[in-house]
Amino acid sequence: MNQNKKSFIIFELLLVVVISSIIIINTFISIKDIYLFSLNSQKIAIYKIDLLSSKLIIKRNIYKIKKLLKYQDKKLYFNNSLFLENVKNFIIEEKNNFITIKFLYKNHLYVKWVFKL
């Protein structure tokens, strides 16, 4: 009887260790996924802050923007200084007292700004 009791206790301990291991492994996987998601969200938030400040600078200089804003080698220059990097498909249009600026920023965000003259 004593031998059966000891083997049952060992089996219970082994079962507890296996279940605990499974829970801990799943917890680490979930924490890693949450961390990667928050890191990606942080990057996108930083990109949006960069774009918002860039939009404000453009808005203040909208009347001479065609002279000041230059696109070259996936970079946007403002008054011959680096303004934004990793810009693709840059288009600036002027129609009916509106200026439209469109581009893809860092392969993540499609940007379309419309300014009234």
Express each pLDDT in 61-79 by its tens digit. Answer: 888 888 888 999 999 998 8
Residue pLDDT, tens place only, 32-53: 999 999 999 999 999 999 999 9
Distance CA 112, CA 23 (A): 46
Distance CA 84, CA 86 (A): 7
Question: What does R_g of the chain's alpha carbons equal in angstroms?
Answer: 28
Q: Is the pTM of this model over 0.85?
A: no
Percent of the chain as helix, strand, coil, to the nearest 5: 55, 30, 10
What is the count of structural domains for the chain? 1
Distance CA 65, CA 75 (A): 16
Range of the domain at 105: 2-116
